Structure formats: structure tokens, C-alpha cells
Amino acid sequence: MSAPRRTGAGLFSADRTHTPVGTWLKIASGEPVEIMAYAGFDFVVIDLEHAPLDLQTAYRLINSAAALGMVPWVRVPDSTPSTIQKILDAGAMGILVPHVDTVGQAEAVGRACRFPPHGVRGAGGTSRAGAWGLRPDAEYRAVGNDDVLCVPQLESAEAIGAAPEILALDCVDAVFVGAADLSMSLGTTPGSPEVLAMIDSATEAAHAAGKRLGLAFGGMPERAARAVREGCDFVLLSNDTSMLAGAARGLVTAFREAEKA
């Protein structure tokens, strides 16, 4: 199975009739990437924050996802420019950064994703992102500045309050609201009226800035579809480990029930 290379910006095309749907990758193996591509996901997020994946593994998974026609994102474990630099050199087309609470933090993250004069990303044209030195330098820099998505993750009341200013930054392409951490920080649940109101506020800020907002819904596609109708622009459904765990438990449970019949 092969497909043309897709860019991060291409995922957010002008056609809003197709909502981009992705999933998290937490298993250090190429097979889940292939399965997600065959399943029809538009993008995958390689999770370096909550999974025991290292940079070398992320490097391989990025390549597999891109080769299979999906847009490879990486959720980095921290916001340091050196971490972001390595992930971008590896060919990631989207950077998801957890716990961005302030405009200053968002600007620093965004500048780490862009080449000068728009940011501080260093030149690494002999990396995969530069096709090992075979991509013309102007094209390499244009892809880095125009096609790679910088997506801060808003996970606190402070972050939601700063959302209009964060989204006004040219170096920020979209935001992702981490409802689970947001609700924990407030001492409530993801479905509470307080959290839902904050999500609505962030959604309004994103659309006012002409940008996108995303949410994760675990294994609840109906809830995700409802959120899209309410204004959500891209969604993440489940992850490779939970899909495997759910299918495994369901199979054993069904067998035990049938065994008693």
C-alpha cells in the first residue's frame, strides 16, 4: 500500500466536509501504524508523553505513517526547542505540545517549530525532513514554515482564558483541548458543565481566529460526531493499546458467556 505524501497543513484544507480523524500510537511497533492506515485514519499522533516510546521508535513510526498516506503528528514529552527540533528533523508534520498555559509558552513553542525569521528552528536539511539533503533548501524551509502544524494543548483554566491570544499568534495553527487534564485541574469531570463551557469558549476563540480546535473522545465515535456538529474541527478516537485491550476483553467475555449457554 502506497500513497502520496501528505502535509500537516493539507490535513486542514479548505474542505470542511471531511473532518480529520486520528488516533494515538503507543505501541513501539510498525504493525499498528499499518492497521490504522488500512482502517482509514487521516492522521496518527505518536505519543511520547504518555507512552514508553523513544526518539528512534518515533522516527520509524513517522516514516511508516507518512509512507502509508497518513499525516504523522508527534505529541512531544516537553516543550524544549531541542526536542521539537529532533522530531521535526525526523519528518513529523504536526507537533502537539502538552500543558501550554500562557501566550509566552505558546509563542516559544511556535517559534521552535519555525525557521528564522519566523522562529528559531535550526537548519537540518540533511535530515529526513530535508530528504537527506536532496530537497532544495528553499523548499525545505517553506515546508517547515508553512506545512508543519504547531498545536498547543490547552489543559487548564489559565490556558482556556489565554486561548484568544494564543490563537492570534501566527506560529500557532490550531489548539487541542485536553479535557481530561482540564477537568482534573478543576476537580471535576470532562463532561461537567464547567468543562463544556470552557471547550465552547476555546472553540469560539479558534473560529474567530480562523483556526481549528480538536478534542479526543476515546472509544466514543457518536460523542465525537456530536462535537463536530457543535464546532469541533478534528478528533482523536481511542489508541492502539485500548483498541487491542477492548477487543481482547470482548472476545474472552463473549466466549465465557457462550460457554455457559
What are the domain boundaries of the chain? 8-260
Angle (nearest 5°) at CA 199 between 39 and 94 = 45
Give the model's pLDDT for residue 18. 87
Q: Residues with catalytic annotation?
A: 50
Give the model's pLDDT for residue 6. 59
Give the model's pLDDT for residue 15. 64
- Give me the phi and psi of 22, to 5 degrees please: -130, 180
* pTM confidence score: 0.93
E strands, the chain, in order: 21-25, 43-47, 71-75, 94-97, 149-154, 174-177, 212-216, 234-239
Amino acid 209 reads A
- Give Dmax over CA atoms of the chain in angstroms: 70
**From the CB of residue 191, how many other CB atoms can be counted at a distance below 10 Å?**
10
Give the model's pLDDT for residue 10. 84
Report the distance separating Cα 93 and Cα 137, nearest Å. 17
Give the model's pLDDT for residue 2. 36
Give the model's pLDDT for residue 16. 66
| C-beta separation of 206 from 212 below 8 A | yes
C-alpha cell at 37: 492506515
Region label for 239, one of left (φ > 0), alpha (ψ between -120 and 50) or beta (otherwise): beta
| C-beta separation of 77 from 47 below 8 A | no
Strand partners, 21: 235
Question: If DSSP codes are grouped into helix, strand and coil, which group holds residue 215?
Answer: strand
Give the model's pLDDT for residue 3. 40
Give the model's pLDDT for residue 238. 98
**From the CB of residue 157, how many other CB atoms can be counted at a distance below 10 Å?**
15
Any idea which residue has 528564522 for its cell?
116
Per-residue pLDDT of the chain (261 residues; tens, 9 = 90+): 334 445 777 888 766 678 999 999 999 999 999 999 999 999 999 999 999 999 999 999 999 999 999 999 999 999 999 999 999 999 999 999 999 999 999 999 999 999 999 999 999 999 999 999 999 999 999 998 999 999 999 999 999 999 999 999 999 999 999 999 999 999 999 999 999 999 999 999 999 999 999 999 999 999 999 999 999 999 999 999 999 999 999 999 999 999 998
Q: For residue 117, is the peptide bond before it cis, meaning its omega torsion is within 30 degrees of 0?
A: yes
What is the fold, at CATH topology level, of the domain defined by 8-260? TIM Barrel (3.20.20)
